[in-house]
Amino acid sequence: MTYLQSIGEVIGFLLLSTFSILDGIIRSFIPKKYKMKNIGGEIALVTGGGGGLGRLLSLRLANLGAIVIIWDINETGIEETIKLIRAAGGTCYGYVCDLCDRTDIYKKAKIIRKEIGKVTVLINNAGIVTGMKFLDTPDELIIRTMDVNIMSHFWTVKAFLPTMLESNKGHIVSVASLAGQCGIPKLIDYCASKFAAMGFDEALRMELEYEGYNINTTVVCPYFIRSTGMFDDVQSRYIPTLSPNAVADRIIMAMRCNEKYAIIPGYLQILLTLKCKRRFAKP
């Protein structure tokens, strides 16, 4: 590469960066209701849809006209979600799927393609937490946390991304956590898995953009959510725990507006910025 080529690439990079910044500023002034895409008729799959946040997301997707598929290990929870959605006039199918089993994921994905069609919206929502000190956490629980919270993202995306690429259409949502932004005692395995989920989303999005595909990805980082069975015992001193309904609404909005990144609540973005400044500050 010649000296002039190097200069040209730097100038090109600066111009593209400037354009992206200006585009983002202009888009920020457009009301969200005008940016929301229609998902009516889309086939949307939600992992962990048998209860909690996954059920709320499934209900909202169905209300917007999507054909909803839920995966969960809880068969009773699956049946309850299906009943709620169908009672409200929506379309929903459910499958028992063990997200710790890559073979089961691929098997159920093949069944879905045959019986229902091509999934165009994938929401990797399922998650578990142990809440134990690192040295007290059994190895098998650490492995299970990583399998459900991040490794399943690899397998579900590998299962459904090929058909999205064929039509150059799709959206992948990764439900991470603010625990993926900062370390928390007794949540070492959980934090690690959510850090990984954020990295997975960012690298996947960059690869898809580099290859010229119009596949959207969104990573969501909520604070502790109450009434989902995961963090009900958390005593939050300064920041109130979140309503699952509010989080579900925000996730659907982020997805429909093609947001790449959503912090919930949004004002915590300021604290994360201060954290980054502290991390890179000179000692």
Instruction: Tell me whether strands 121-124 and 67-72 are parallel, antiparallel or unpaired.
Output: unpaired
In a domain, 70, yes or no: yes
Report the C-alpha gap between 190 and 232 in whole angstroms.
16
Q: How many domains does the chain have?
A: 1
In a domain, 55, yes or no: yes
CATH number at residue 101: 3.40.50.720
Choosing from 93, 190, 223, 267, the catalytic residue is 190
> Does 7 reside within a domain?
no
- Listed in sequence order, the residues at least 6 apart from 19 whose beta carbon sits closer than 8 Å to its beta carbon are none
Vertex 44: Cα angle to 42 and 45 (nearest 5): 160
**Which residues share a beta bridge with 196?**
none
For tokens 């048998």, the residue is: 50
Q: Which pLDDT score, from 0 to 100, does residue 281 have? A: 46
Q: What is the DSSP letter of 240?
A: P
Ordered strands of the 67-72 beta sheet:
91-96, 67-72, 43-47, 121-124, 170-175, 215-222, 261-264
Instruction: Give Rg (Cα) of the chain.
Output: 20
pLDDT for residue 97: 97
Domain extent for 104? 39-279
Is 137 domain-assigned?
yes
Cβ atoms of residues 187 and 134 within 8 Å: no
pLDDT of residue 232: 59
Tell me, yes or no, whether 17 lies in a domain: no
- Give a yes or no: residue 6 inside a domain: no
Mean pLDDT by runs of 10 across the 283 residues of the chain is 73 75 69 81 97 97 98 97 97 97 98 97 96 95 97 98 97 95 91 97 96 96 81 67 94 96 86 57 45
User: 31 lies in a domain?
Assistant: no
Tell me whether residue 190 is one of the annotated catalytic residues: yes
* pLDDT on residue 280: 43
pLDDT of residue 4: 74
pLDDT of the residue at 56: 97
Confidence (pLDDT) at 282: 47
pTM: 0.86
Record the tokens describing residue 165, joined without a space.
Answer: 């690429």
CA 54 from centroid of its chain's CA atoms = 11
CA triplet 158, 160, 163: central angle to 5 degrees?
A: 115
Task: Find out whether 99 and 20 touch, Cβ atoms under 8 Å.
Answer: no
Q: Domain for residue 20, yes or no?
A: no
